[in-house]
Amino acid sequence: MIDLAVHELVSRLLRHQTRDFIISHSINDPDNNGIYAVIDYLHNHLKDEVNIDQLCKLACMSRTKFFDEFKQLLGVTPQACFAFGYASASHFSRRFKAVYGLSPSQYKARHNKCANRS
């Protein structure tokens, strides 16, 4: 089950390669919109416990709107990163590479190649 969740997270991260730009831009201009304010907050509070309701208030959005906007910009729901203890997609990618020695995209490509041989 965890392997499936990791594969789902990796595929969503790969579909949205612009996330690094969005994260960088949100840190430089957190007042641009509510999601940028949330990303900036997360970046500055990586070690703190995350409360989704608090993030919704910070973004000035309902829970549904917040999840939709977050997913549209970053390719994952806030829960996907947080479920694995990561507050940002780029942090997850860096840690993934540190553990597996491959980026998520390289890992996925290798896994798909092995699966196609079977």
* CATH at residue 50: 1.10.10
Q: How far apart are CA 87 and CA 109, in angstroms?
A: 25
Print burial letters for 37-67: b (CB count within 10 Å at least 16), e (below 16): bbbbbbbeeeeeebeeeebbebbebeeeebb
The pTM assigned to this predicted structure is 0.51
As a whole number, mean pLDDT of residues 37-50 equals 80
Structural domain for 49, as ranges: 2-117
Domains: count for the chain? 1
The residue type of 80 is A
Please give the pLDDT value at position 13. Answer: 64
Confidence of residue 27 (pLDDT cuts 50, 70, 90): confident
Q: How far apart are CA 92 and CA 82, in angstroms?
A: 10
Q: Give the residue with greater pLDDT, 85 vs 71.
A: 71
